[in-house]
Structures are given as structure tokens and as C-alpha cells.
């Protein structure tokens, strides 16, 4: 059931979005993708927990904090990733909702004086 659900969505994995930029448009689906890093920390003792991303949800790898035994954790978004955090941080690509203006693909054919640049400026229709 769950597998069918994911298949039906034809989810784009945005594999062509470079990870070394803050955000970029995915060439496969056209969404604006933000590259984000998250840390999972224990609510009780504040240590960094090893974590992973499961079905788009960030979760600690273990149920209990190895330091204090607490199950409570919080997720912190990082502005910048550094080498200290890279072993703990979870990488996730987030789709930034776009304001789709109701613009349609219209080719303004004005006989011969159509500049090639004008073609590039015409926006694509929202899918």
C-alpha cells in the first residue's frame, strides 16, 4: 500500500540539484529546492544525537539518548554546516513553495522582428 502510494506520486528526488549551493531550481521538476542541514539534539542534556531522515521526517537513530536515557529530542536547522557537525547532521532538500503566477506559455510571433532573447524571457506554464 505504502509503496503504491509513493509510486503514484512520481516523486522527484532532485538529484540534479547541486548540494554545494544554498538553493537552486531542480532541472527535472522545476521546484525551488533549498539544501538544508539539521541536527537532532536531546531535550534533556542537549547532546547531538545521531539521526537520519525517514520518509521525509528527521529522527534520531536510537530511541533513547545514549547520554541520559531521555526519549525527547528537538530538531535544529543549521545555517552552515561545519566539519564538527557533519557526522551528526542530516541533509534534507526542502521544496520552497513558489508563487505561481498565472502566466501561460505564449509565443509572441511578430513576424521577422522577434528577438531570440524574448523567447527566453517567456515563462513556462505552471504544471
* CA distance linking residue 22 with residue 36, whole number of Å: 8
Candidates 8-16, 92-100, 109-117, 118-126; binding stretch for Zn ion (CB under 5 A): 8-16
Decide whether 67 or 123 has the Cβ nearer to Zn ion: 67
Chain mean position to CA 31? 9
* CA distance linking residue 17 with residue 93, whole number of Å: 9
Interface with Zn ion, residue 65, by CB under 5 A: yes
* CA distance linking residue 47 with residue 84, whole number of Å: 13
All three cell numbers of 1, joined, read 500500500
Decide whether 52 or 118 has the Cβ nearer to Zn ion: 52
Interface with Zn ion, residue 12, by CB under 5 A: yes
By CB under 5 A, name the one of 25, 29, 48, 75 that touches Zn ion: 29
All three cell numbers of 60, joined, read 534520531
All three cell numbers of 81, joined, read 554546516
Interface with Zn ion, residue 42, by CB under 5 A: yes
Interface with Zn ion, residue 45, by CB under 5 A: yes
Interface with Zn ion, residue 41, by CB under 5 A: no
All three cell numbers of 78, joined, read 543549521
Minimal distance in Å, beta carbon 27 to Zn ion? 8
State the residues that interact with Zn ion by CB under 5 A.
12, 14, 26, 28-29, 42, 44-45, 65, 67-68, 70
Amino acid at each position: 500500500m505504502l509503496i503504491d502510494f509513493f509510486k503514484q506520486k512520481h516523486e522527484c528526488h532532485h538529484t540534479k540539484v547541486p548540494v554545494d549551493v544554498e538553493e537552486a531550481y531542480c532541472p527535472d521538476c522545476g521546484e525551488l529546492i533549498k539544501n538544508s542541514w539539521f541536527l537532532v539534539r536531546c531535550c534533556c542534556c542537549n547532546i547531538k544525537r545521531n539521526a537520519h531522515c525517514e520518509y521525509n521526517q528527521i529522527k534520531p537513530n536510537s530511541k533513547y539518548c545514549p547520554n541520559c536515557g531521555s526519549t525527547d529530542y528537538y530538531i535544529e536547522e543549521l545555517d552552515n554546516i561545519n566539519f564538527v557537525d557533519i557526522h551528526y547532521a542530516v541533509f534534507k532538500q526542502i521544496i520552497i513553495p513558489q508563487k505561481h503566477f498565472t502566466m501561460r506559455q505564449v509565443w509572441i510571433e511578430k513576424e521577422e522582428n522577434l528577438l531570440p532573447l524574448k523567447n527566453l524571457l517567456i515563462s513556462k506554464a505552471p504544471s
